[in-house]
Structure 1
């Protein structure tokens, strides 16, 4: 089995770092060679001998590698034994993907990218003790606006690179026979070992929301809509003050929906796609609560929307009723009056696990097994002391849809650490095989694209040994 090489690690570190490197673009083909050969100033500030590479329309500066290293370390990343050449090679890859994305007319959501800048800037400022002057000095910028533009360009090109990678692997599929061949190859090279796994079941009881609470939420949303439409109030300001959607609050409730790639729940999509630009929906219900949506812009298949979410208040009586119900279910289980599977199907409010007799599905592997060392920390804490077959005490919990819920849990099966088995671990082996095929597809694409793209490596990096043919055998 192919192992993930150090360049993949570099890519992960780069994705987690706060800022990237300079984004100067050379549009004129004739100027590309001049940049490398003449003592000329680019944009009035960068000397030609500071240019480390040109990849298509992009340049990489010597200082970019130093700054990228500092940023990864500042963000808590560990470069380990990754060399300067390897880091530089990963930067070249990122630029290659971004360049080709532009050639393929891949577009980015400018509104969404700009909406992330405030949050990013606050995170960066924290590393400089909140001093904008120190931050501007580090990034060699004359003003906050100039820094914001650089952050925007960085985000945009990272988005282009990501979309290009996704496009390359989007149509890669794998057949059962390919999975078998991959497994047989693993047997020759040495089968991987999978850690201890648990199968977990739960029964969930959710306090019911009263009709009166629902109506209060609806009336609040109607007031916000009226204030925006009749009094010119800011929808975004309403989001910042009133929404219960913490995930989108910092971006003013912004989401981008694509008709071809479903995102958000069906109720949300159906309303969003029925609106016209500038229109605000009537209040509607989803599993998360009640919403109103403002459709800001339609761009082909993409819809930029903002929304306000209000969760109806859950009354103390409803909470007490749910707690009494789960206590009663647990008592019946302990007394042996009903099996856990029967109780889940009859009493549990969690649709995803109810029909499976309470068994939880691993969202990563799509099977019922949870590897102990990779388990969600919240679930791990709740089951770590349970013996097989033991019923937990009642646990008060919460999730994105429910601010309060009660549950009882049970470990139904424990699979000890074992060598990969084709029948038992088919889904895991399939995932590894598909990942391996993705690497092959990306490698083939990169090789072909390097050959057809203008690339020039300068200075010390000519002596690097790259994993790709960046030097084109020169």
Structure 2
């Protein structure tokens, strides 16, 4: 018996059960993989996470979850051997994002602590370990899979061998062009917003209230307002240049920045802490309100433009280039890009989710080449803008074909090849890794049967 096996056996025997003074079971080791233990509490935590996220298991969770954790242990063990690591910055960033998401979804910090029966500090530590492990596993899997290169012939051959009922169905997709105009904001409204932010600064400096309190009450940034305007550690490249130039020049946590403008509106900010090239801060965002008359004026101008396009006086492509204020599309004749696929094609659900529901509604009943009536929408910067759209193309739902859907099909084959490589690696790794499963946890139909030897 080698040293690892001896250590693992001792671990299983010594930690197989933890008891309190009344001899009631608190926790137990249910699996050992190599020299790593999987506790019953680990399984319960994963089950709680899955339950909250609405995940459904293909089988008994008390069989599926420990096997998933065991597979993760295999990857983590190999990552340690191969010195595969992830950066602290990447881990901290995802911990902050995940903690914020949990607090928002569950309803409050207190409810989150009650749900997990842990303090926020303990939840953060749990997330830090889980996220580091998850990211490390991803990097190890990338190394195992390597760079999979496929030729068009390989993709074609794969799908030629599929039964007709197994060929993926592609839902209807659309290609959409957009022109937007931002209604003018009156100067007095801008001054009102700036004065309100300066008043906030005065109240904080006088000790009448705190930055966090004002952020919760007044900030119009939905992502941070309920957390007192606070963001976790962030790198300069993750912020707009205007915002980064201000917050990264803050040096005293007791001082508030001057009022400054970004494409989202007007802000004040306060330093919390700096760690190397990352910064934690809080801010308050206020957005100047657009007068109804200015919205109507912008809608009328777009209505006139749409009529000119319909009459052939100008093309939509030309108008988008010279008139549109949408920075992301104007240089591409107004053509929207799908951030998920990297193409200009959207399923209707994607169009509503990635762009706006208003755009999806405007496009729904258009014919190819037709221009919509003007409408209002909230853009990706949270600003109310006026827009018209043109349906450039509609691709009806269909069974995938090489000519129409090559990139989609290629990604399916690539994912299949990757999965095959990883499954083969897991089976081989099982053969050379000590595994011990608690007898009470063996009655399972495992995906990888090599666990029980």
Normalising by the residue count of structure 1, what TM-score does the alignment of the two structures yield? 0.73
Structure 2 Cα separation of the partners of residues 121 and 95 of structure 1: 29
1:159 counterpart = 2:131: yes
**C-alpha displacement of 1:288:** 0.7
Structure 2 Cα separation of the partners of residues 431 and 267 of structure 1: 37
Which secondary structure does the structure 1 equivalent of 2:336 belong to? Answer: coil
CA contact 2:72–2:137 (8 Å) conserved in 1: no
CA contact 1:198–1:412 (8 Å) conserved in 2: yes
**C-alpha displacement of 1:240:** 0.5
Structure 2 Cα separation of the partners of residues 33 and 48 of structure 1: 19
Match of 2:377 among 397, 415, 437: 397
Residue 225 of structure 2 is matched in structure 1 by: 249
CA contact 1:97–1:160 (8 Å) conserved in 2: no
Structure 2 Cα separation of the partners of residues 179 and 230 of structure 1: 68
Mean CA deviation greater in 283-292 or 422-431 = 422-431
**C-alpha displacement of 1:358:** 2.0
The verdict on how the C-alpha distance between 1:93 and 1:248 changes in structure 2, with shifts beyond 3 A counting, is: farther
**C-alpha displacement of 1:289:** 0.9
Structure 2 Cα separation of the partners of residues 99 and 239 of structure 1: 45
The verdict on how the C-alpha distance between 1:111 and 1:341 changes in structure 2, with shifts beyond 3 A counting, is: closer
Match of 2:366 among 371, 379, 386: 386
The verdict on how the C-alpha distance between 1:117 and 1:259 changes in structure 2, with shifts beyond 3 A counting, is: closer
CA contact 1:332–1:338 (8 Å) conserved in 2: yes
Match of 1:41 among 6, 15, 18: 18
Structure 2 Cα separation of the partners of residues 40 and 363 of structure 1: 49
Which secondary structure does the structure 1 equivalent of 2:297 belong to? Answer: helix
**C-alpha displacement of 1:245:** 0.3
1:215 counterpart = 2:191: yes
Which secondary structure does the structure 1 equivalent of 2:150 belong to? Answer: helix
Residue 17 of structure 1 is matched in structure 2 by: none
Match of 1:60 among 23, 36, 39: 39
Structure 1 Cα separation of the partners of residues 295 and 249 of structure 2: 36
Structure 1 Cα separation of the partners of residues 153 and 261 of structure 2: 48
The verdict on how the C-alpha distance between 1:211 and 1:150 changes in structure 2, with shifts beyond 3 A counting, is: same
The verdict on how the C-alpha distance between 1:123 and 1:467 changes in structure 2, with shifts beyond 3 A counting, is: farther
Structure 2 Cα separation of the partners of residues 288 and 159 of structure 1: 31
**C-alpha displacement of 1:53:** 2.4
Structure 1 Cα separation of the partners of residues 32 and 67 of structure 2: 12
Match of 2:57 among 63, 70, 79: 79
Residue 282 of structure 1 is matched in structure 2 by: 258
The verdict on how the C-alpha distance between 1:364 and 1:34 changes in structure 2, with shifts beyond 3 A counting, is: closer
Match of 1:323 among 269, 280, 299: 299
Match of 2:107 among 96, 100, 122: 122
Which secondary structure does the structure 1 equivalent of 2:328 belong to? Answer: helix
CA contact 2:169–2:397 (8 Å) conserved in 1: yes
Structure 1 Cα separation of the partners of residues 205 and 75 of structure 2: 43
Give ranges in structure 1 of 5+ residues lacking alignment. Answer: 1-28
The verdict on how the C-alpha distance between 1:153 and 1:457 changes in structure 2, with shifts beyond 3 A counting, is: farther
The verdict on how the C-alpha distance between 1:463 and 1:58 changes in structure 2, with shifts beyond 3 A counting, is: same
Over the aligned positions, Cα root-mean-square deviation in angstroms equals: 4.2
Which secondary structure does the structure 1 equivalent of 2:261 belong to? Answer: strand
**C-alpha displacement of 1:243:** 0.7
Structure 1 Cα separation of the partners of residues 338 and 395 of structure 2: 15
Structure 1 Cα separation of the partners of residues 342 and 180 of structure 2: 20
Give ranges in structure 2 of 5+ residues lacking alignment. Answer: 1-5
CA contact 2:17–2:29 (8 Å) conserved in 1: no
Which secondary structure does the structure 2 equivalent of 1:247 belong to? Answer: coil
**C-alpha displacement of 1:387:** 1.7
The verdict on how the C-alpha distance between 1:245 and 1:372 changes in structure 2, with shifts beyond 3 A counting, is: closer
Match of 1:457 among 413, 437, 442: 437
Which secondary structure does the structure 2 equivalent of 1:388 belong to? Answer: coil
CA contact 1:323–1:406 (8 Å) conserved in 2: yes
CA contact 2:221–2:285 (8 Å) conserved in 1: yes
Match of 1:273 among 244, 248, 254: 248
Which secondary structure does the structure 2 equivalent of 1:209 belong to? Answer: coil
Structure 2 counterparts to residues 68-467 of structure 1, below 5 A = 72-73=50-51, 76-79=54-57, 81=59, 84-93=62-71, 104=85, 107=88, 108-109=91-92, 118-119=103-104, 121-122=106-107, 146=118, 148=120, 151-168=123-140, 174=147, 177-178=149-150, 180=152, 183-190=155-162, 192-231=168-207, 233-259=209-235, 262-276=237-251, 278=253, 280-372=256-348, 374-376=350-352, 378=357, 379-421=359-401, 424-429=404-409, 431-432=411-412, 435-436=415-416, 439=419, 456-464=436-444, 466-467=446-447
Residue 3 of structure 2 is matched in structure 1 by: none
Count of residues paired in the alignment: 429
CA contact 1:114–1:152 (8 Å) conserved in 2: yes
**C-alpha displacement of 1:404:** 2.0
Normalising by the residue count of structure 2, what TM-score does the alignment of the two structures yield? 0.76
